[in-house]
Protein backbone atom coordinates (compact mmCIF):
# COMPACT_ATOMS: atom_id res chain seq x y z
CA UNK A 1 0.00 0.00 0.00
CA UNK A 2 1.33 3.43 -0.97
CA UNK A 3 1.41 6.31 1.55
CA UNK A 4 0.32 9.01 -0.88
CA UNK A 5 -1.15 9.18 -4.37
CA UNK A 6 -1.17 12.39 -6.38
CA UNK A 7 -3.70 11.73 -9.10
CA UNK A 8 -4.62 13.31 -12.39
CA UNK A 9 -1.98 16.03 -12.54
CA UNK A 10 0.19 17.01 -15.51
CA UNK A 11 3.63 15.70 -14.57
CA UNK A 12 6.53 17.82 -15.81
CA UNK A 13 9.64 15.90 -16.88
CA UNK A 14 12.86 17.96 -17.14
CA UNK A 15 14.89 15.10 -18.64
CA UNK A 16 12.65 14.29 -21.63
CA UNK A 17 11.36 17.88 -21.69
CA UNK A 18 7.76 16.68 -21.80
CA UNK A 19 4.52 16.86 -19.85
CA UNK A 20 2.35 13.77 -19.29
CA UNK A 21 -0.86 13.15 -17.36
CA UNK A 22 0.22 10.63 -14.73
CA UNK A 23 -0.43 9.51 -11.19
CA UNK A 24 2.46 9.66 -8.73
CA UNK A 25 2.67 7.17 -5.86
CA UNK A 26 4.81 7.78 -2.79
CA UNK A 27 6.13 5.27 -0.26
CA UNK A 28 8.49 6.09 2.62
CA UNK A 29 9.13 9.59 1.28
CA UNK A 30 10.22 8.46 -2.18
CA UNK A 31 8.52 8.15 -5.54
CA UNK A 32 7.51 4.49 -5.73
CA UNK A 33 5.48 4.39 -8.94
CA UNK A 34 4.47 6.66 -11.81
CA UNK A 35 1.92 6.03 -14.50
CA UNK A 36 -1.66 5.87 -15.65
CA UNK A 37 -2.76 2.80 -13.68
CA UNK A 38 -5.00 3.45 -10.71
CA UNK A 39 -3.80 2.18 -7.34
CA UNK A 40 -4.83 2.95 -3.79
CA UNK A 41 -2.94 4.83 -1.10
CA UNK A 42 -3.50 5.84 2.50
CA UNK A 43 -3.97 9.41 1.29
CA UNK A 44 -5.03 10.67 -2.13
CA UNK A 45 -4.61 14.15 -3.55
CA UNK A 46 -6.64 15.12 -6.61
CA UNK A 47 -4.30 17.19 -8.78
CA UNK A 48 -6.62 17.55 -11.79
CA UNK A 49 -5.98 20.79 -13.59
CA UNK A 50 -2.63 21.27 -11.85
CA UNK A 51 0.96 20.68 -12.99
CA UNK A 52 3.40 18.66 -10.89
CA UNK A 53 7.03 19.80 -10.90
CA UNK A 54 10.05 18.46 -9.03
CA UNK A 55 10.67 20.63 -5.97
CA UNK A 56 12.81 23.64 -6.74
CA UNK A 57 16.44 23.73 -5.61
CA UNK A 58 17.89 27.09 -4.62
CA UNK A 59 21.64 26.77 -4.33
CA UNK A 60 22.36 30.41 -3.44
CA UNK A 61 20.69 31.51 -0.18
CA UNK A 62 22.16 33.86 2.42
CA UNK A 63 20.04 32.90 5.42
CA UNK A 64 22.33 34.95 7.72
CA UNK A 65 22.16 32.45 10.57
CA UNK A 66 24.24 32.64 12.77
CA UNK A 67 25.14 36.32 12.87
CA UNK A 68 22.89 38.85 11.21
CA UNK A 69 19.65 37.19 12.28
CA UNK A 70 17.90 40.57 12.36
CA UNK A 71 18.07 40.38 8.54
CA UNK A 72 16.96 36.75 8.15
CA UNK A 73 17.22 33.42 9.91
CA UNK A 74 17.11 29.82 8.82
CA UNK A 75 13.53 29.15 9.96
CA UNK A 76 12.09 32.20 8.20
CA UNK A 77 14.19 31.63 5.11
CA UNK A 78 13.23 27.99 4.72
CA UNK A 79 9.55 28.79 5.34
CA UNK A 80 9.78 31.28 2.48
CA UNK A 81 11.42 28.57 0.37
CA UNK A 82 8.67 26.02 1.06
CA UNK A 83 5.88 28.44 0.18
CA UNK A 84 7.75 29.40 -3.01
CA UNK A 85 8.00 25.79 -4.23
CA UNK A 86 11.65 25.30 -3.18
CA UNK A 87 12.33 22.02 -1.34
CA UNK A 88 16.13 22.11 -1.13
CA UNK A 89 18.36 25.08 -0.29
CA UNK A 90 22.11 25.53 -0.04
CA UNK A 91 23.07 28.05 2.65
CA UNK A 92 25.89 30.50 1.87
CA UNK A 93 28.88 30.59 4.24
CA UNK A 94 29.39 34.35 4.78
CA UNK A 95 27.73 34.20 8.17
CA UNK A 96 29.21 35.26 11.48
CA UNK A 97 31.02 33.09 12.38
CA UNK A 98 31.71 32.00 8.82
CA UNK A 99 32.06 28.38 7.63
CA UNK A 100 35.82 27.87 7.33
CA UNK A 101 36.54 24.22 8.11
CA UNK A 102 34.99 20.78 8.55
CA UNK A 103 34.07 21.42 12.17
CA UNK A 104 32.10 24.53 11.15
CA UNK A 105 30.26 22.53 8.46
CA UNK A 106 29.27 19.79 10.91
CA UNK A 107 28.17 22.36 13.50
CA UNK A 108 26.01 24.21 11.01
CA UNK A 109 24.36 21.04 9.71
CA UNK A 110 23.48 20.06 13.29
CA UNK A 111 22.43 23.59 14.27
CA UNK A 112 19.92 23.84 11.43
CA UNK A 113 18.41 20.45 12.18
CA UNK A 114 15.33 21.58 14.12
CA UNK A 115 14.93 24.85 12.20
CA UNK A 116 14.69 23.63 8.61
CA UNK A 117 11.35 23.56 6.80
CA UNK A 118 13.04 22.18 3.66
CA UNK A 119 16.09 20.00 3.01
CA UNK A 120 19.39 21.81 3.08
CA UNK A 121 23.07 21.76 2.24
CA UNK A 122 25.93 23.92 3.46
CA UNK A 123 28.54 26.00 1.62
CA UNK A 124 32.13 26.40 2.78
CA UNK A 125 34.07 29.65 2.39
CA UNK A 126 37.61 30.07 1.05
CA UNK A 127 39.75 32.83 2.56
CA UNK A 128 42.85 31.95 0.54
CA UNK A 129 45.94 30.85 2.52
CA UNK A 130 44.05 31.32 5.80
CA UNK A 131 42.12 28.10 5.30
CA UNK A 132 43.68 26.49 2.22
CA UNK A 133 44.47 23.33 4.19
CA UNK A 134 40.88 23.14 5.48
CA UNK A 135 39.06 22.99 2.13
CA UNK A 136 39.14 19.19 1.95
CA UNK A 137 37.82 18.82 5.50
CA UNK A 138 34.72 20.80 4.45
CA UNK A 139 34.07 18.37 1.61
CA UNK A 140 34.55 15.43 3.99
CA UNK A 141 32.08 17.00 6.43
CA UNK A 142 29.49 17.23 3.65
CA UNK A 143 29.77 20.79 2.32
CA UNK A 144 28.25 21.11 -1.15
CA UNK A 145 31.01 23.34 -2.54
CA UNK A 146 33.41 26.17 -1.73
CA UNK A 147 32.62 29.85 -2.30
CA UNK A 148 35.23 32.49 -2.94
CA UNK A 149 34.33 36.19 -2.80
CA UNK A 150 36.96 37.31 -5.32
CA UNK A 151 38.34 40.77 -4.57
CA UNK A 152 36.92 41.14 -1.05
CA UNK A 153 39.18 42.06 1.86
CA UNK A 154 39.15 40.10 5.12
CA UNK A 155 38.95 41.44 8.69
CA UNK A 156 42.23 40.51 10.42
CA UNK A 157 40.59 39.67 13.75
CA UNK A 158 37.20 38.19 12.94
CA UNK A 159 38.02 36.90 9.42
CA UNK A 160 34.70 38.39 8.26
CA UNK A 161 34.53 39.62 4.65
CA UNK A 162 35.02 43.37 4.22
CA UNK A 163 32.61 44.62 1.56
CA UNK A 164 33.96 48.09 0.70
CA UNK A 165 37.71 47.92 0.84
CA UNK A 166 39.68 51.14 0.45
CA UNK A 167 43.46 51.19 0.17
CA UNK A 168 45.23 51.52 3.48
CA UNK A 169 42.22 50.45 5.54
CA UNK A 170 43.42 49.21 8.91
CA UNK A 171 42.98 45.77 10.41
CA UNK A 172 42.14 44.14 7.10
CA UNK A 173 43.84 41.64 4.86
CA UNK A 174 43.64 43.27 1.40
CA UNK A 175 42.03 41.36 -1.50
CA UNK A 176 44.13 38.32 -2.44
CA UNK A 177 46.54 38.62 -5.35
CA UNK A 178 46.30 36.26 -8.33
CA UNK A 179 49.06 34.03 -6.98
CA UNK A 180 47.12 33.27 -3.82
CA UNK A 181 43.92 32.77 -5.83
CA UNK A 182 45.79 30.36 -8.11
CA UNK A 183 46.73 28.32 -5.05
CA UNK A 184 43.02 28.00 -4.20
CA UNK A 185 42.25 26.67 -7.69
CA UNK A 186 45.13 24.19 -7.48
CA UNK A 187 43.93 22.90 -4.11
CA UNK A 188 40.31 22.66 -5.32
CA UNK A 189 41.49 20.62 -8.33
CA UNK A 190 43.48 18.26 -6.10
CA UNK A 191 40.51 17.84 -3.74
CA UNK A 192 38.05 17.39 -6.64
CA UNK A 193 35.77 20.07 -5.26
CA UNK A 194 33.74 22.86 -6.88
CA UNK A 195 34.98 26.43 -6.54
CA UNK A 196 32.17 28.96 -6.96
CA UNK A 197 33.13 32.58 -7.37
CA UNK A 198 31.59 35.99 -6.91
CA UNK A 199 33.11 37.51 -10.05
CA UNK A 200 33.81 41.24 -9.82
CA UNK A 201 37.22 42.88 -10.27
CA UNK A 202 37.59 44.97 -7.16
CA UNK A 203 40.65 46.95 -8.30
CA UNK A 204 38.74 48.27 -11.29
CA UNK A 205 35.69 49.06 -9.15
CA UNK A 206 37.85 50.83 -6.57
CA UNK A 207 39.52 52.99 -9.22
CA UNK A 208 36.26 53.95 -10.95
CA UNK A 209 34.61 54.67 -7.60
CA UNK A 210 37.48 56.96 -6.58
CA UNK A 211 37.18 58.81 -9.88
CA UNK A 212 33.46 59.46 -9.50
CA UNK A 213 32.75 62.99 -8.30
CA UNK A 214 30.15 62.25 -5.67
CA UNK A 215 29.62 65.97 -5.01
CA UNK A 216 28.01 66.13 -8.45
CA UNK A 217 26.23 62.77 -8.25
CA UNK A 218 22.74 62.34 -6.87
CA UNK A 219 22.27 59.71 -4.17
CA UNK A 220 20.00 57.73 -6.46
CA UNK A 221 21.91 58.00 -9.77
CA UNK A 222 21.87 54.36 -10.92
CA UNK A 223 23.68 55.12 -14.22
CA UNK A 224 26.56 56.76 -12.33
CA UNK A 225 26.68 53.85 -9.91
CA UNK A 226 26.71 51.36 -12.78
CA UNK A 227 29.59 53.25 -14.39
CA UNK A 228 31.69 52.37 -11.31
CA UNK A 229 30.76 48.66 -11.46
CA UNK A 230 30.53 47.94 -15.20
CA UNK A 231 30.39 44.67 -17.17
CA UNK A 232 34.16 44.92 -17.53
CA UNK A 233 34.45 44.14 -13.81
CA UNK A 234 32.71 40.80 -14.42
CA UNK A 235 34.57 40.15 -17.67
CA UNK A 236 38.03 40.59 -16.12
CA UNK A 237 37.38 38.21 -13.23
CA UNK A 238 35.53 35.61 -15.30
CA UNK A 239 38.36 35.60 -17.87
CA UNK A 240 41.03 35.13 -15.19
CA UNK A 241 38.99 32.45 -13.45
CA UNK A 242 38.48 30.51 -16.69
CA UNK A 243 42.22 30.63 -17.36
CA UNK A 244 42.94 29.31 -13.87
CA UNK A 245 40.35 26.54 -14.22
CA UNK A 246 41.79 25.55 -17.59
CA UNK A 247 45.30 25.46 -16.18
CA UNK A 248 44.58 23.61 -12.93
CA UNK A 249 41.64 21.43 -14.00
CA UNK A 250 39.56 22.75 -11.09
CA UNK A 251 35.81 22.82 -11.59
CA UNK A 252 34.81 26.48 -11.68
CA UNK A 253 31.26 27.65 -11.05
CA UNK A 254 30.44 31.29 -11.71
CA UNK A 255 27.75 32.70 -9.45
CA UNK A 256 25.10 35.25 -10.42
CA UNK A 257 26.25 36.23 -13.92
CA UNK A 258 24.98 39.58 -15.12
CA UNK A 259 26.52 40.51 -18.47
CA UNK A 260 26.69 39.67 -22.17
CA UNK A 261 30.48 39.69 -21.97
CA UNK A 262 30.44 37.20 -19.13
CA UNK A 263 28.05 34.88 -20.96
CA UNK A 264 30.21 34.99 -24.11
CA UNK A 265 33.33 34.02 -22.13
CA UNK A 266 31.57 31.05 -20.53
CA UNK A 267 30.14 29.93 -23.88
CA UNK A 268 33.61 29.91 -25.41
CA UNK A 269 35.18 28.18 -22.39
CA UNK A 270 32.57 25.41 -22.49
CA UNK A 271 33.19 24.91 -26.21
CA UNK A 272 36.90 24.60 -25.39
CA UNK A 273 36.19 21.88 -22.84
CA UNK A 274 36.99 23.87 -19.68
CA UNK A 275 35.27 22.48 -16.57
CA UNK A 276 33.00 25.45 -15.95
CA UNK A 277 29.35 25.95 -15.02
CA UNK A 278 27.42 29.14 -14.37
CA UNK A 279 24.21 30.53 -12.94
CA UNK A 280 22.26 33.75 -13.12
CA UNK A 281 19.57 35.07 -10.77
CA UNK A 282 15.93 36.08 -11.35
CA UNK A 283 16.63 39.80 -10.81
CA UNK A 284 19.01 39.80 -13.79
CA UNK A 285 16.43 38.06 -15.98
CA UNK A 286 13.39 40.10 -14.96
CA UNK A 287 14.90 43.55 -14.31
CA UNK A 288 17.32 45.86 -16.13
CA UNK A 289 18.83 49.27 -15.35
CA UNK A 290 15.80 50.80 -17.11
CA UNK A 291 13.59 49.62 -14.24
CA UNK A 292 15.41 51.69 -11.63
CA UNK A 293 13.11 54.75 -11.77
CA UNK A 294 10.09 52.53 -11.09
CA UNK A 295 11.66 50.04 -8.66
CA UNK A 296 14.19 52.16 -6.77
CA UNK A 297 17.04 51.14 -4.46
CA UNK A 298 15.44 47.82 -3.58
CA UNK A 299 17.07 46.51 -6.76
CA UNK A 300 20.59 47.27 -5.56
CA UNK A 301 22.36 43.94 -5.60
CA UNK A 302 25.98 42.96 -6.28
CA UNK A 303 26.92 42.45 -9.02
CA UNK A 304 24.67 45.28 -10.25
CA UNK A 305 21.72 44.65 -12.58
CA UNK A 306 22.83 45.81 -16.02
CA UNK A 307 21.34 46.83 -19.39
CA UNK A 308 18.47 45.43 -21.46
CA UNK A 309 21.08 44.08 -23.87
CA UNK A 310 22.78 42.17 -21.03
CA UNK A 311 19.39 40.86 -19.93
CA UNK A 312 18.72 39.54 -23.47
CA UNK A 313 22.13 37.82 -23.52
CA UNK A 314 21.42 36.16 -20.16
CA UNK A 315 18.13 34.75 -21.44
CA UNK A 316 19.84 33.49 -24.62
CA UNK A 317 22.60 31.94 -22.49
CA UNK A 318 20.11 30.23 -20.20
CA UNK A 319 18.11 28.90 -23.15
CA UNK A 320 21.16 27.44 -24.94
CA UNK A 321 22.64 25.92 -21.77
CA UNK A 322 25.63 28.27 -21.44
CA UNK A 323 24.12 29.21 -18.09
CA UNK A 324 23.28 25.95 -16.37
CA UNK A 325 20.62 27.02 -13.90
CA UNK A 326 19.26 29.93 -11.88
CA UNK A 327 19.53 30.57 -8.14
CA UNK A 328 18.00 33.38 -6.13
CA UNK A 329 20.96 34.94 -4.27
CA UNK A 330 18.42 35.44 -1.47
CA UNK A 331 20.23 38.16 0.53
CA UNK A 332 17.85 40.15 2.77
CA UNK A 333 18.72 43.29 4.69
CA UNK A 334 16.74 45.35 7.20
CA UNK A 335 14.13 47.71 5.75
CA UNK A 336 15.84 50.71 7.39
CA UNK A 337 19.16 49.77 5.76
CA UNK A 338 17.64 49.86 2.27
CA UNK A 339 16.98 53.61 2.48
CA UNK A 340 19.22 56.61 1.79
CA UNK A 341 22.17 56.71 -0.61
CA UNK A 342 22.23 54.03 -3.26
CA UNK A 343 26.01 54.05 -3.03
CA UNK A 344 26.13 53.30 0.70
CA UNK A 345 23.24 50.94 1.43
CA UNK A 346 23.90 47.18 1.58
CA UNK A 347 23.26 45.12 -1.55
CA UNK A 348 20.79 42.26 -1.86
CA UNK A 349 17.11 41.40 -1.47
CA UNK A 350 14.75 38.51 -0.82
CA UNK A 351 14.51 35.99 -3.64
CA UNK A 352 13.89 32.40 -2.55
CA UNK A 353 10.10 32.76 -2.40
CA UNK A 354 9.61 34.60 -5.70
CA UNK A 355 12.00 32.72 -8.00
CA UNK A 356 9.61 29.96 -9.06
CA UNK A 357 6.57 32.28 -9.45
CA UNK A 358 8.62 34.62 -11.70
CA UNK A 359 9.65 31.67 -13.87
CA UNK A 360 6.07 30.35 -14.01
CA UNK A 361 4.93 33.80 -15.13
CA UNK A 362 7.53 33.65 -17.93
CA UNK A 363 5.90 30.36 -18.97
CA UNK A 364 2.48 32.07 -18.99
CA UNK A 365 3.89 34.77 -21.25
CA UNK A 366 5.19 32.14 -23.69
CA UNK A 367 8.88 32.82 -23.11
CA UNK A 368 9.79 29.38 -21.74
CA UNK A 369 8.14 26.01 -21.03
CA UNK A 370 7.41 24.19 -17.76
CA UNK A 371 9.91 21.38 -18.51
CA UNK A 372 12.53 24.08 -19.01
CA UNK A 373 11.66 25.58 -15.61
CA UNK A 374 12.10 22.12 -14.06
CA UNK A 375 15.47 21.79 -15.79
CA UNK A 376 16.93 25.09 -14.55
CA UNK A 377 15.30 25.08 -11.11
CA UNK A 378 15.68 21.40 -10.23
CA UNK A 379 17.49 18.99 -12.53
CA UNK A 380 20.65 20.99 -13.35
CA UNK A 381 21.44 22.26 -9.84
CA UNK A 382 20.96 18.72 -8.49
CA UNK A 383 23.30 17.28 -11.14
CA UNK A 384 26.03 19.89 -10.69
CA UNK A 385 26.20 19.70 -6.89
CA UNK A 386 25.48 15.96 -6.91
CA UNK A 387 22.43 16.34 -4.66
CA UNK A 388 21.31 12.76 -4.17
CA UNK A 389 17.77 11.72 -5.16
CA UNK A 390 16.70 15.28 -5.98
CA UNK A 391 15.83 17.24 -9.09
CA UNK A 392 13.69 14.76 -11.07
CA UNK A 393 10.38 12.95 -10.77
CA UNK A 394 11.62 9.38 -11.19
CA UNK A 395 11.20 6.16 -9.24
CA UNK A 396 13.51 6.09 -6.22
CA UNK A 397 13.84 9.86 -6.08
CA UNK A 398 12.64 11.87 -3.08
CA UNK A 399 8.98 12.82 -3.37
CA UNK A 400 9.76 16.54 -3.38
CA UNK A 401 6.85 17.83 -5.43
CA UNK A 402 5.31 21.17 -6.26
CA UNK A 403 1.73 21.44 -7.47
CA UNK A 404 1.35 24.47 -9.68
CA UNK A 405 -1.80 26.32 -10.75
CA UNK A 406 -1.07 28.00 -14.09
CA UNK A 407 -4.48 29.74 -14.09
CA UNK A 408 -3.89 31.60 -10.85
CA UNK A 409 -3.09 35.32 -11.13
CA UNK A 410 -2.05 37.36 -8.13
CA UNK A 411 0.64 39.92 -7.41
CA UNK A 412 3.89 39.43 -5.53
CA UNK A 413 3.60 41.57 -2.41
CA UNK A 414 6.18 42.28 0.27
CA UNK A 415 3.55 41.77 2.93
CA UNK A 416 2.88 38.20 1.76
CA UNK A 417 6.54 37.09 1.93
CA UNK A 418 7.64 34.80 4.77
CA UNK A 419 11.13 36.21 5.28
CA UNK A 420 12.09 38.12 8.40
CA UNK A 421 12.61 41.31 6.35
CA UNK A 422 10.08 40.82 3.57
CA UNK A 423 11.47 43.04 0.83
CA UNK A 424 11.66 42.38 -2.87
CA UNK A 425 12.21 44.45 -5.99
CA UNK A 426 9.15 42.67 -7.43
CA UNK A 427 6.59 44.09 -5.00
CA UNK A 428 3.35 44.70 -6.93
CA UNK A 429 4.28 42.63 -10.01
CA UNK A 430 1.36 40.53 -11.26
CA UNK A 431 2.19 36.85 -11.71
CA UNK A 432 0.20 34.18 -13.54
CA UNK A 433 1.24 30.70 -12.38
CA UNK A 434 1.73 29.94 -8.68
CA UNK A 435 2.89 27.01 -6.57
CA UNK A 436 -0.18 26.00 -4.56
CA UNK A 437 1.13 22.93 -2.67
CA UNK A 438 4.65 21.85 -1.77
CA UNK A 439 5.53 18.30 -0.64
CA UNK A 440 8.86 17.43 0.98
CA UNK A 441 9.64 13.70 0.84
CA UNK A 442 5.91 13.03 0.52
CA UNK A 443 4.79 15.32 3.33
CA UNK A 444 2.72 18.45 2.65
CA UNK A 445 4.77 21.42 3.91
CA UNK A 446 3.03 24.40 2.27
CA UNK A 447 -0.44 25.01 0.84
CA UNK A 448 -2.12 28.11 -0.58
CA UNK A 449 0.83 30.40 0.24
CA UNK A 450 1.12 29.30 3.86
CA UNK A 451 3.25 26.80 5.80
CA UNK A 452 1.72 23.53 7.00
CA UNK A 453 3.20 21.78 10.05
CA UNK A 454 6.55 21.83 11.82
CA UNK A 455 10.11 21.94 10.50
CA UNK A 456 10.99 18.56 8.98
CA UNK A 457 13.92 19.43 6.72
CA UNK A 458 16.97 17.17 6.66
CA UNK A 459 20.53 17.54 5.41
CA UNK A 460 20.74 16.80 1.68
CA UNK A 461 23.67 14.69 0.51
CA UNK A 462 25.81 16.60 -1.95
CA UNK A 463 28.43 14.56 -3.79
CA UNK A 464 29.47 16.45 -6.88
CA UNK A 465 31.21 14.25 -9.44
CA UNK A 466 34.05 16.55 -10.54
User: With contact defined as beta carbons under 8 Å apart, do 395 and 35 qualify?
Assistant: no
Q: How far apart are CA 150 and CA 145, in angstroms?
A: 15
Q: Which residues of 363-378 are buried (b: 16+ CB within 10 A; e: fewer)?
A: beeeebebbbbbbbbb
Spatial CA neighbour of 225 closest among 398, 75, 341, 87: 341
Report d(CA 442, CA 462) in Å as an integer.
20
Residue 387 interaction partner, one of ligand NCD, Zn ion, none, beta carbon < 5-8 Å per kind: none
Q: Is 72 in the site for ligand NCD (CB under 6 A)?
A: no
SS3 256: coil
Among positions 45, 198, 229, 330, the unique one binding Zn ion when judged by CB under 5 A: 198
Q: Which does 338 bind (CB under 5 to 8 A by kind): ligand NCD, Zn ion, none?
A: none
> What gap in Å lies between CA 184 and CA 203, rounded to an integer?
20
Nearer to ligand NCD, 135 or 160 (CB): 160
Told to check if 154 binds ligand NCD by CB under 6 A, we report: no
Least Cα distance to 399 among 91, 52, 21, 51 occurs for: 52
Q: How many CA atoms lie within 13 A of 54 on its CB side?
A: 30
For Zn ion, the closer CB: 5 or 304:
304
Please state the closest distance from residue 350 (CB atom) to ligand NCD, in A. 11
Which residues, 271 to 310, sit near ligand NCD by CB under 6 A?
Answer: 301-302
Q: Which residue is nearest to Zn ion (CB)?
A: 198
Site map for Zn ion, 27-46, x if CB under 5 A? --------------------
| CB closer to ligand NCD, 55 vs 303 | 303
Q: Is 331 in the site for ligand NCD (CB under 6 A)?
A: yes
Nearer to ligand NCD, 329 or 383 (CB): 329
Which member of 23, 65, 87, 94 binds ligand NCD (CB under 6 A)? 94
Query: What does 331 interact with, of Zn ion, ligand NCD, none (CB < 5 to 8 A by kind)?
Result: ligand NCD
Partners of 18 in the β-ladder: 13
Supply the minimum distance, in Å, between the C-beta of residue 32 and Zn ion: 39
Under the binding rule (CB under 6 A), the answer on residue 348 touching ligand NCD is yes
Binding to ligand NCD, residues 180-199 (CB under 6 A):
198
Residue nearest to ligand NCD (CB): 347
Cα→Cα distances 157→69, 154, 261, 419, Å: 21, 9, 37, 31
Q: Are strands 276-280 and 251-254 parallel, antiparallel or unpaired?
A: parallel
302: three-class secondary structure by DSSP: coil
Least Cβ distance, residue 425 to ligand NCD (angstroms):
12
Residue 348 binds: one of ligand NCD, Zn ion, none (C-beta under 5 to 8 A by kind):
ligand NCD
- Residue with smaller CB distance to Zn ion, 83 or 331: 331
99 vs 77: CA distance, rounded Å? 18
Q: Which stretch binds Zn ion (CB under 5 A): 138-146, 194-202, 234-242, 411-419?
A: 194-202
Quick one: 5 or 299, whose CB is closer to ligand NCD?
299
Q: Does 230 bind ligand NCD (CB under 6 A)?
A: no
Choose between 25 and 123: whose C-beta lies nearer to Zn ion. Answer: 123
Which of 106, 26, 81, 108 lies closest to 455 in space, CA to CA?
81
Cα separation, 30 vs 46, in Å, equals 19
Q: How far is CA 270 from CA 27, 41, 138, in A?
A: 40, 46, 27
Q: Which does 94 bind (CB under 5 to 8 A by kind): Zn ion, ligand NCD, none?
A: ligand NCD
User: Strand 56-61's sheet: what is its strand order?
Assistant: 56-61, 86-91, 119-122
Interacting residues toward Zn ion by CB under 5 A = 198
Interacting residues toward ligand NCD by CB under 6 A = 62, 94, 198, 301-302, 329, 331, 347-348
Amino acid sequence: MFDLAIKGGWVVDPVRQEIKKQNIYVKDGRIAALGESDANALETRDASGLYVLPGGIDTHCHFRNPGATEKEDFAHGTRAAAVGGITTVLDMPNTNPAVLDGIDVRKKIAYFHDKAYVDYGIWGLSLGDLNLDKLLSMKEAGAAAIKFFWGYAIDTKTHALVYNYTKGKEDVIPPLDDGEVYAIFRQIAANRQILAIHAENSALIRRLTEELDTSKTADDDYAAFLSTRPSLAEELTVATAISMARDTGAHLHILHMTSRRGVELVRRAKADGVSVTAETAPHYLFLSAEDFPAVGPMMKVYPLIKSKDDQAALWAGLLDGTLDFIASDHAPHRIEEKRGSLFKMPSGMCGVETMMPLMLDAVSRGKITLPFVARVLSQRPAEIYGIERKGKLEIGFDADLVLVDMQKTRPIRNKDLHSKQPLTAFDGRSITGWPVSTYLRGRLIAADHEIVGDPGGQPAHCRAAV
